[in-house]
Amino acid sequence: MNSPTLKNQVSPEEWQLRVDLAAAYRLVALYGWSDLIFTHISARIPGPEHHFLINPYGLMFDEITASSLIRVDQGCNKLHDSPYPVNPAGFVIHSAIHEAREDAGCVLHTHTRAGVAVAAQRGGVLPISQQSTFVLASLAYHDYQGVAFRPEEKPSLQADLGDKNFLCLRNHGLLTVGHSIADAFLSMYVFEGACQIQVAAQAGGAELIAVNPAIVTGTAQAMKVQTGGMGGAFAWPALLRKLDRLDPGFRD
C-alpha cells in the first residue's frame, strides 16, 4: 500500500512515533496476534493535545507504514487527509484508557486464541509460569459488556484498569498499557506467552504447580533487573533489526 510520505510534514518526534507504531503493527502480524483488521494499537503523540495515531481501518497489519497511520483526536476524528477510514467504534477502549491514564503512551489490544481462551476461564491468568508472574504483578480484569463501541462502558473500563498495565478483557481478549510503544509490545509478548503456556499446560491434563505467591510479589523488581531498567526499550532495537531484515517498508 503506497501512501505519500509524511516524513517532511510532521515533527521528528511524531515521525519516530509513527515508525515505532508501524513496527508494532508489523510485529503483531509477524507473531500471529492479529485478527485480520479488527484490533488496534494506539499511540499518544507528545504534546498538550490529546492526539493519537491509529491504524487505517481496512489494512492488514503487515501493510501498515509510518505514513499510512492516521492522526486522530480524542473522538477519533481524522486530523489530516487520508484515503483510509478510521474505526471510531474500535477506538472506544483506547480512548477510555488514554483519557484516564496520562502515562499511557501506547495501548495494545489483541484477540488471540490463547488470550480469549484464558479470558473465558473463571480463574483467569494462573500463577503457573515465570511469564504469568510478570503479568500477575500488574493485572486487572474487565467483564464483558458486548462489542465495545458504547461510550457508556468507559467509566467501568477505567475503574477496572486503575493503575495496572495488563488488562484481561473477559470473553474478549488481552490489553496492555505502556509508557512507550516498546513497553506495551514487550508486555503483550509476555502476556500472550503466559496465556499460551497456560492453555498448553491445561491440555496436558496433569495437576498444575502454582508459583509461590511471595515470588509474584517481587516480580516487578525482577523485570527491571532482566531489562537493565530499560523496560521494552531493551529489546526494541533488536526487534526493529528483525523487521528491517524481513521488510523495511514499515519505515515508509
What is the enclosing helix (H) or strand (E) of 118?
helix 113-119
Q: Looking at residues 150-155, what average pLDDT do you find?
A: 90
In degrees and rounded to multiples of 5, residue 70 shows phi and psi of: -110, 130
Q: Is the pLDDT of residue 151 over 90?
A: no
| Cell numbers that stand for 200 in this block | 498448553
- Identify the pLDDT of residue 218: 73
| Cell numbers that stand for 178 in this block | 505502556
Least-confidence region, from 31-40, 190-199, 218-227:
218-227
- Identify the pLDDT of residue 88: 80
Q: How many CA atoms lie within 13 A of 183 on its CB side?
A: 17
Q: Which residues contact 197 (CB under 8 A, 6 or more apart)?
A: 128, 129, 131, 132
**pLDDT tier at 230, thresholds 50, 70, 90:** confident
Q: Which residue is associated with the grid cell 521488510?
A: 247
Q: Is the pLDDT of residue 216 over 90?
A: no
26-52 confidence digits (pLDDT tens):
999 999 999 999 999 999 998 888 999
In degrees and rounded to multiples of 5, residue 113 shows phi and psi of: -60, -45
Cα–Cα dist 218/133, whole Å: 9
Report the predicted TM-score, pTM, of the whole model to 2 decimal places.
0.93
